[in-house]
Chain A
């Protein structure tokens, strides 16, 4: 991995290297690593990276925050860093300050809805919410008679049905039954659920790209160590070609994700061009997670299928991240509709505009 010259990323990488070594975490069945890691991240101001100074955060740029999430993906971090960052960002859009501790965002699926009732309470049942069980607060995007609102909710006031995603991380069902929010404010005009989902999707894309980069690295390393049929397996052409394809998937994921992050960080409006970037990133990164992960496992053979090995920390999480904030199938349908609606002769101008 190229050394980063980004101070936010450098800080994070140092913390990850010290407190989130994948092998150490993998061996730690009691999960004792979680508390010191979260503490160190919090002390460095990283979970609230996207919250401006005047709202209690560290005021990092969108670009720096996205780069931080890519680094988190390279370590397959399994604490709600991305979720708390997204929650802090969402709250800040309505000038709501962020509390201390873990947060997550609701809903996490484009088709789920939370309603702001006339009495100011919130209702709705939303699925697949990452780290809801671990969160102390929720940042909620809700629909009411007056349009879109953003609310801060005490997680203790909601009903949580625990679940796990395919990567063994919390992915829960949250039910709000006329819950009174701590704060609720109207969302700014440009912000709707689609925008929030796409930004969440880009966050996941960067994490997937990071995980693929690590899968490539550990697969190359393993192929240079493992001997079979009296040769290092890296010397077999079939293995080389598989790893070349993995490199391609990893590179494509990173290119799509960083391009989308750059597009959002520099966007003046969330127009079709930015939509193309964000939706494409989620679609392409999800496809890369499937193809690339399969190759990484193939190269590792049976050892990569064991719980003792770290490969699954990356491969399963990359697969799980495909489902959050809209799957690739969902975004492909939406992007396809957008393209069809603009018409055949506008397709190339759209692609070439980026």
Chain B
């Protein structure tokens, strides 16, 4: 029998809606201030340190974490609302988002107390940027193939090797990375990987930018040459990182950022067709809205499962699979529907500029954070097929 794939219709409680209003007001203020322009997606201004600090001041980073580490002990559902409002507004969240979603929770679980006390409050204040060191040349989603070595030495480890596709490494203060501490065993292919906290901008770390087809710079190659990491920067069990990594995937895979990355083209299409659309435009928009609404209801439902302390790995993989395929197709569908938009549509230029950028962005959406193929493998396992 298959896993029970239930997505209960969780509703966001009233205090989430209060928070939503606050976030919208804040974002409107920031746009008015000129911090960012939501209609200019081809933005080189995605790294805005002051914006991060102001979000931190509002208490919206580390929102679910314990107060003693600078967090706010609020719910995952509140976190959800902040994330989706930021994403829909195209806000420049790059500097704090990875730490908020992933790195912070890993530190909370596995870092020694003095490191938690040092780093977590700074994340919450929006002062720190994190990168994730998973992929390597010739590994990517195949984490077992990671080769970068951490060799035991006096008081710590020496790191040698290369990470790649590392988003934000060029601006990051820290990276949480997986390195090989021993060889896999015959019985356990997953053995031998260990998670480390890496302090960037230190000797033995060189960051090389990699250009992207969007024209933006996010990716980097990170080369480690005898880089020293002290013992207390080991996160969790030596050789046991695989187990740690998989249980965190639900956080990375089900959030609103997994279907809203190209959302802005839909808004602009609706703006372009005006309030009296022809049948073809109306039908196209109606279908896209129905699909969006359904995904969001699934995603909120998974947030509810996380709030209830569950580990919905299969459900989260389904949301990411459907969500990323959707946000990848969205610019192309919008392009189809925009074919007959009147020349006089007021936002025509904006729509075209955004479509151009979204179409270039689309190919990466089903790759980042676990490829479609890997996700479908996880779902298949959940169905009892492997």
Contacts and interface: CB of A to CB of B under 8 A. Distances in A.
Interface of A: 1-2, 213, 216-217, 220, 223-224, 234-235, 237, 239-241, 243-245, 247-248, 250-252, 254-256, 258-259, 261-263, 276-277, 279-281, 283-284, 287, 328-329, 331-337, 339-341, 343-345, 347-348, 351-352, 354
A140 to B, nearest CB: 28
Of all A-B residue pairs in the complex, the 6 with the closest CB atoms, nearest first, are A336-B282, A332-B286, A336-B286, A344-B271, A240-B380, A335-B286
Contact of A255 (B88, B277, B289, B301): B301
B136 to A, nearest CB: 23
A159 to B, nearest CB: 33
Contacts of A262: 9, 11
A248 B267 contact: no
A256 B294 contact: yes
Contact of B270 (A252, A280, A340): A340
Interface in B248-301: 263, 266-268, 270-271, 273-277, 279, 281-287, 289-298, 301
Interface in B1-44: 1-2, 4-9, 11, 20
A255 B380 contact: no
A256 B297 contact: yes
Contact of B286 (A223, A224, A239, A334): A334
B286 A333 contact: yes
A247 B379 contact: yes
Interface in B130-175: none
Nearest to A331: B286
Given A280-B290, A340-B276, A220 B20 contact: no
Given A245-B376, A334-B286, 13 more contacts: A213-B5, A234-B386, A235-B385, A241-B373, A244-B376, A244-B380, A255-B298, A279-B286, A284-B290, A340-B274, A348-B263, A351-B293, A352-B85
A255 B282 CA distance: 24
A345 B287 CA distance: 18
Contacts of A329: 283
Interface of B: 1-2, 4-9, 11, 20, 84-85, 88, 263, 266-268, 270-271, 273-277, 279, 281-287, 289-298, 301, 315, 318, 321-322, 373, 375-377, 379-380, 382-386
Contacts of A351: 289, 292-293, 296
A255 B285 contact: no
15 contacts: A2-B6, A220-B384, A244-B379, A252-B295, A262-B9, A279-B290, A280-B294, A284-B291, A287-B291, A333-B283, A336-B285, A337-B277, A340-B275, A348-B263, A352-B84
B384 A216 contact: no
B287 A332 contact: yes
A255 B271 contact: no
A336 B289 contact: yes
B279 A333 contact: yes
Given A331-B286, A343-B275, A354 B267 contact: no
B283 A336 contact: yes
Contacts of B8: 258
A259 B88 contact: no
A161 B76 CA distance: 56
Nearest to A283: B290
Contacts of B4: 1-2
Nearest to A216: B2
B293 to A, nearest CB: 4
B208 to A, nearest CB: 34
Contact of A348 (B267, B321, B384): B267
Nearest to B292: A351
A247 B5 contact: yes
Nearest to B385: A234
A76 B216 CA distance: 51
A263 B11 CA distance: 10
Contacts of B11: 262, 354
Contacts of B383: 216, 220, 243-244, 247
Contact of B290 (A243, A335, A337, A345): A335
Nearest to B281: A336
Contacts of B5: 213, 216, 247, 250-251, 254
Contacts of A343: 270-271, 275
A267 to B, nearest CB: 12
Contacts of A1: 1, 4
The listed residue with most A CB atoms (<10 A of its CB), out of B1, B4, B274, B385, is: B385
A247 B318 contact: yes
Given A254-B7, A262-B9, A347-B266, A220 B385 contact: yes
Given A332-B283, A333-B283, A347 B270 contact: yes
Contacts of B268: 344
